[in-house]
Structure 1
Amino acid sequence: MNILLTGGTGYIGSHTAVVLAQAGHDVVLYDNLSNSDRRVVNHLAHITGRPMTFVEGDIRDAELLTRTLRAAGIEAVIHFAGLKAVGESVDKPVEYYANNVQGTISLLQAMQAVSIGTLVFSSSATVYGEPQYLPLDEKHPTSATNPYGRSKLHIEEMLLDVAKSDQRWRIACLRYFNPVGAHDSALIGESPRGIPNNLMPYIAQVAAGQRQALQVFGDDYPTPDGTGVRDYIHVMDLARGHLAALGFLAHHAGWHAVNLGTGHGSSVLEMVRAFEHVSGQSVPYKITPRRPGDVAACYAKADKAARELGWSAQLGLEDMCRSTWKFQRQSESGSSR
């Protein structure tokens, strides 16, 4: 199958490209490189032994998207392209709605123009808002507490309307929990620009001596050690979830929302201890006040993914920490990204 990956050189897109190529699919990467590196294209070719077509373009450029879809004979699209920092979305809501919502509309217009109806959307557990119960299943009420989350939820609702309008549409919204880790080659991984927004790359930079200490936002939550609990999922497990979703859509029309998580949570301090164990390095931290909007715990009920996609997470916390540390060390030596 010929598959277009919007945001294909980004963190999750690049790992998914590996899984798809190794399964025999032909992948086209579409990215504006706003949060990724062109060298990823060569790294992917090295990992998979297969060259990948790369198109530099903005997700809002419906004309370029249409030309790309037609020229490559695309049969399905996996849509990763989107801005994703919660804090930044509060400061730049117009930019987030323009890129995420308007960009998705442009993609849908391009797909309609060339009669492509299979789409896997990179959604997020943020669409659940404040958890009313745990674990979070797909029937949990949706809401959003920030522009980033609202953009994801609005896109999901748009896609539901699109699927209802024409039975030829086959759409899966994959609600990610907390992706971490890197490919075993250490050629691709999470490489944030500037100060990391996510826990794992921040821990890795502290362990490497690039940053003094990790800030732990609150130690008085009603959790076993007082720190926030999240469902961390290895990015390679997540990538395999996209392959499974494509297989599911081949036999199921309509709109489908599916959680991709491990089904259990780990606290910030558990993550710190696991990383110290794997890396052999100390990870100093300091407790600071809670951040507004943070919740005590958030983790998935992943039964639907197992039942309908035939997918479940296989890699544990140590695998996540080990691959992250390997990627961090490779990055320092200048041999990745």
Structure 2
Amino acid sequence: MVVSGGVQGCLIECSAQWWDQHMSTRTEQVMCVQTPEFTRHAERSEHPAGSIQRRAHDWLQPTFRPRLLYASCASSPVSSPSCTSGVDEDSPLAPQSPYARTKAVCEEMFADIAVVGPRVLSLRYFNPIGADPKLRTGLQLKRPSHTLGVLIQAHEEGRPFPVTGTDGLTRDGSGIRDYVHVWDLTAAHIAAIERFDSILVGTKRSIAINLGTGSGTTVRELCAAFNDVVSTPLVTIDTDRRPGDVTGSYTKSDRAAELLGWTPKLSLEDGIRSALDWMPVRDKLLKD
């Protein structure tokens, strides 16, 4: 399993806890690595001028496993101009940020490697939110830079939250994202491990599966949901779109329902509430 360094600690740790309980005798079946390890290997590769595919293949080969699960990103595909239909696995890849571009490059790289190497299942999703419902783990950053993190910080400091850009082609004009509870994403990763061999059979070497809500959440809707959770309402102000801001999109999850038996169970409010509950616990457990 390849896990991005940007995925929330809750997703990593909860998947690992499940692995220890249920798959500890089958560790020969799935490759478990993290993206920073690959980056360090690429920097010291004996083929510095070679392709990234060659360097990745060289790194994977000594500890070869026939199955590899990659935590990818659903922001690589481009949505329709109206943002009313979302994206699916067949939407064209055209990442709109450096982060999304790295995900797209790695996804294509692993698909190439899968032709002669391990079979690869890529899970794509946008914005994990929330924490372990039992508050055993959660986001490690004290001041996360994603929208919910900035929103929480504005609320704590008693200042208005800026809604940047209100002229987008969405249902209320504000940007749209796809917020999925990290606990739901953990369940999807577990389902992918359990169903790996039934998904990639025969000559099928790689596949991407989108994980999302099917409708997405606009910035205005996120703020309204936040105010449904907190006792003191958050004040918002409309501001101009910033350079580089994109309207965004959301992802369909029909393939996830069919192949993984997965649909999100927890609400946007559940994600906001657990994120808020986790923050004081995080401050006690972690030293900055």
TM-score for both structures, normalised by structure 1: 0.70
Alignment match, 1:77: 31
1:50-82 Cα offsets, whole Å, 9 max, x none, are xxxxxxxxxxxxxxxxxxxxxx96431345535
Specify the SS of the correspondent of 1:128: coil
SS at match of 1:174: strand
Q: d(CA) in 2 for partners of 1:98 and 1:278?
A: 46
**CA spacing shift, 1:288–1:6, aligned 2, 3 Å:** closer
Quick one: structure 1 residues 6 and 285, their matched pair in 2 at CA, closer, same or farther if it must change by over 3 Å?
closer
Report the CA distance between 1:164 and its aligned residue: 1.5
Question: What percentage of aligned pairs have identical amino acids?
Answer: 30
The structure-2 alpha-carbon separation of the partners of 1:219 and 1:244, relative to structure 1 and needing over 3 Å to count, comes to same
* Corresponding residue for residue 239 of structure 2: 288
Q: 1:330 to 1:177 in 2, by over 3 A?
A: same
Query: Which residue in the other structure is 1:200 paired with?
Result: 148
Q: Look up the equivalent residue of 2:180 and give its one-letter code.
A: I
Aligned position for 2:227: 276
Shift of 1:309: 1.3
Deviations 1:195-237 (A, max 9, x none): x32111222223333x734232112223333211211100010
| SS of corresponding position for 2:172 | coil
Distance 2:34 2:236 in 1: 32
- Given the alignment of the two structures, is residue 249 of structure 1 paired with residue 247 of structure 2, yes or no? no
Partner of 2:186: 239
Q: 1:159 aligns with which of 96, 110, 131?
A: 110
Unaligned runs of 5+ in 1: 28-71, 84-93
Alignment of 1:120-269 (within 5 A): 120-129=69-78, 131=80, 134-166=85-117, 169-192=118-141, 194=143, 196-209=144-157, 212-251=159-198, 252-253=200-201, 254-269=205-220
> So what's the TM-score if we normalise by structure 2?
0.81
Mapped partners of 1:291, 1:130: distance in 2: 20
Q: Distance in 2 between matches of 1:137 and 1:248?
A: 20
Aligned equivalents of 1:105 and 1:330: distance in 2? 43
Tell whether 2:13 aligns with 1:14.
yes
Give the distance between the partners of 1:232 and 1:256, measured in 2 at CA: 23
Q: Are 1:279 and 1:325, in contact at CA under 8 Å, matched by a contact in 2?
A: no
Cα distance change, pair 262–98 in 1 and its aligned pair in 2 (3 A): farther
Q: CA RMSD in A?
A: 3.3
- Report how far residue 308 of structure 1 moved: 0.9
Q: Is this contact kept in 2: 1:173–1:256, CA < 8 A?
A: yes
In structure 2, the residue corresponding to 1:282 is in which secondary structure? coil
Give the C-alpha shift of residue 11 in structure 1: 4.9
Give the distance between the partners of 1:214 and 1:191, measured in 2 at CA.
23
Deviates more, 1:254-263 or 1:320-329: 320-329
CA contact (8 A) 2:179 2:212 kept: yes
